[in-house]
Each structure stands twice: as C-alpha cells, then as structure tokens.
C-alpha cells in the first residue's frame, strides 16, 4: 500500500483533445499498449501534482480487539504526510 500513491498515474482528459495524460516515469509498455489500442497519449513530467492530482490512503483493520490504521501519502502532494502515534 505504501508504494501505491507514488505509482505513475494517468488521467483521461475529455476535452479538447480527448487524450490520456501519463507521467514520463510510467512503464513504456503502458504508453505503447494504449496507443496501439487507438488512445492518444500525452506524456508529462514525472511527479506532476497539477496535471494528475494526488492521493492519500488510509487502511483500517480490525483484529484482536483493536483497530490498526495504516496510511500512505502521495509524494506528489506538497502538503501530504502520514503521522502516527
């Protein structure tokens, strides 16, 4: 889970070009596979929070009479962080 927010994302833009925006650090086979299926792919810089957004994840697991919280923060987020106690 901790690696998930930092994985290379992509986003579908409907207008005007109806294209997929993909970070440059995504595997090349993703780009090739999408284009071979007819998608227009626009590659942007890696870790770009403006074009693809950011994610924060919290997982809650119950067990042995208590709750365990696990968190992960997207490295793209200028303000994101995981804090525990």
Whole-angstrom distance, CA of residue 8 vs CA of residue 13:
16
Tokens of 42: 């626009």
Whole-angstrom distance, CA of residue 40 vs CA of residue 55:
24
Under a CB-based contact definition with an 8 Å cutoff, are residues 10 and 20 in contact? yes
Q: pLDDT, tens digit, for every residue of 24-74? A: 888 889 889 989 998 888 888 877 666 666 777 888 999 889 998 888 877
Q: Residue 81: what pLDDT?
A: 73
């Amino acid at each position: 889970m901790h690696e998930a927010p930092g994985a290379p994302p992509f986003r579908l833009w409907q207008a005007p070009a109806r294209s997929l925006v993909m970070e440059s650090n995504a595997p090349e086979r993703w780009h090739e596979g999408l284009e071979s299926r007819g998608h227009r792919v626009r590659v942007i810089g890696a870790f770009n929070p403006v074009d693809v957004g950011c994610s924060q994840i919290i997982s809650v697991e119950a067990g042995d009479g208590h709750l365990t919280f696990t968190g992960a923060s997207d490295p793209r987020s200028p303000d994101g962080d995981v804090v525990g106690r």
